[in-house]
Amino acid sequence: MAALYRGRHRWKRINCLHIFSRKLTGKNDYDLLVIGGGSGGLACSKEAAQLGQKVAVLDYVEPPTMAEAVQNHVKSLNWGHRVQLQDKVLGGVGAYPSYYKARGGTILTAKNIVIATGGRPKYPTNIPGAAEHGITSDDIFWLKKSPGKTLVVGASYVALECAGFLKGIGLDTTVMVRSIALRGFDQQMAGLVTDYMEAHGTRFAWKSVPNRVDKLSSGALQVTWTDTQTGSEHKDTFDSVLWAVGRAPETKALGLDKLGVQLNKETGKIVIGPDESTSVPNIYAFGDIGEGRPELTPTAIKAGKLLARRLTGQSTELMNYDNVPTTVFTPLEYSCVGLSEEEAEKRHGKDGIEIYHAFYKPLEFTVAERDASQCYIKVVCEQGGTGKILGLHFTGPNAGEVAQGFAVGFQCGATYSHLIQTVGIHPTCAEEVVKVHITKRSGLDATVTGC
Ligand code: NAP
């Protein structure tokens, strides 16, 4: 039996988990205790409650100073969740301090415990002034004034998306890239995304690492960094420095190590099996907290629902973590599903794959006379036979909308033959995907005339 104890004086944090070898009452308070009230935790708890389980959700909230409009939006979302949870989840919602205060520190027992505490943006620990003077993506929407001239450190989803909208609202924006942009993604596609941003005014400090951040008497932040290619040191001043250097798991506060829950020493994430089980029976974990899991909200939601169904004996279906589609919401959106060209080559060999590609001009770019040189489609297929599709990549307007539909086909094992047998919808960007016929191997010009 697993149980959760909450200390009387620290209601904001769950103090620790204990495993008791005996049952005091012979009965658990709950069938399921979900720790973490983010999207994944809520999805899991609501699904379990709907399936007749007695469920409690535990979470803590820091009082946030919020910009009014966003605050109202968040409140309305929270209210919706709260109503649904009160309808469906017995035992109330732990996100409300008064709940815990009223309970005055409580021992709760449950047949199963699910940890879905996610992660929080992290600051580098070895850069003087980084945390003191910097902000993260969590702060950006709560600022009371414009962040002004901004340095974004990091080059993955968060960094590029934040830089994209900051530049979009007219701010002087620089992205500092330590190594490559969008690590893990198809690097040709990543290049198109950053080329587009650069062409539209975002500055990039390539192969550069920050050394320190100092606040000047003027209030400006002076950043010193090294260009690792030349070894030269540079300085510039910014109004804001936004760290987008990854997210850290929220495991420490739970004392999981004392319970014997195996953590990855390097990342601090929980080691979990395909069924989301941890090394301790009856304790499960999923979402960003799970080692090797994609840090994506829809993936966590789906995994949480499937876990709830398995825990209630309704299903044995496991989450399929392969083929998860995703979109990078940069000024030129990039969406993909499946393998990058690099990964496909690694797994199947250069001669084992065929790549169909096309540069295309979206209709909306034509009318506005916008440069479409980064609008591109790449379909990575197995060489020979029907040409099973291994990866599909798309940059252009509404890339997420386009890729979502193709992801269904991908999930069903779509082949290149299926693709070209499909009739296009005119005039759309997506129709260019079902028309791709030029192979990279041919070396022919892949520019197609517009939609
Ligand atoms: P991330 O994917 O872990 O990338 C971290 C970035 O920071 C990398 O570019 C890394 O460079 C750089 N970095 C790390 N330490 C650094 C240092 N000390 N100095 C300079 N650069 C440093 O983190 P993220 O972009 O914050 O995203 C977190 C997760 O959120 C992602 O895994 C993603 O799945 C999810 N997310 C998804 C979406 C979406 O679906 N649209 C949007 C936002 C976030 P190196 O490559 O050199 O290591």
pLDDT digits (tens, 9 = 90+) for 303-344: 999 999 999 999 999 999 988 999 999 999 999 999 999 999
pLDDT in tens, 408-437: 999 999 999 999 999 999 999 999 999 999
pLDDT exceeds cutoff 80 at 96: no
Q: Give the per-residue pLDDT at 73.
A: 62
Q: Which of 29, 11, 161 is nearest to 90 (CA)?
A: 29
Q: Give the per-residue pLDDT at 253.
A: 76
pLDDT in tens, 7-29: 333 333 455 565 554 444 557 88
Interval between CA 252 and ligand 1 midpoint (Å): 21
User: Residue range 346-374: average pLDDT?
Assistant: 95
Q: Which residues are catalytic?
A: 426
pLDDT exceeds cutoff 90 at 347: yes
Rounded CA separation 205/112 (Å): 48
pLDDT exceeds cutoff 60 at 1: no
| Element holding 22 (H helix, E strand) | none
Position in ligand 1 atom list of the atom nearest CA 296: 34
Residue among 122, 209, 241, 245 to mutate when testing ligand 1 (max atoms within 8 A of CB)? 245
- Tokens in use for 282? 């009856």
- Predicted TM-score (pTM) above 0.75: yes
User: Residue range 163-170: average pLDDT?
Assistant: 97
Residue nearest ligand 1's atom 16 by CA:
245
In this structure, of 251-265, 270-284, 327-341, 393-407, the range with the lowest mean pLDDT score is 251-265
Rounded CA separation 242/150 (Å): 7
What is the CB < 6 Å shell around ligand 1? 124, 153-159, 161, 178-180, 183, 209, 244-247, 294-296, 326-329
Position in ligand 1 atom list of the atom nearest CA 177: 21
Residue among 157, 187, 225 to mutate when testing ligand 1 (max atoms within 8 A of CB)? 157
Q: Give the per-residue pLDDT at 231.
A: 98
pLDDT exceeds cutoff 60 at 98: no
**Per-residue confidence band for 68, with pLDDT thresholds at 50, 70 and 90:** low
pLDDT exceeds cutoff 50 at 4: no
Rounded CA separation 187/383 (Å): 21
Rounded CA separation 329/159 (Å): 11
User: Residue range 231-238: average pLDDT?
Assistant: 98
Query: Cα dihedral sign for 197, 202, 208, 214?
Result: negative
pLDDT, the chain, mean = 88
Rounded to the nearest angstrom, the gap between the alpha carbon of residue 451 and the centroid of all alpha carbons in its chain is 32
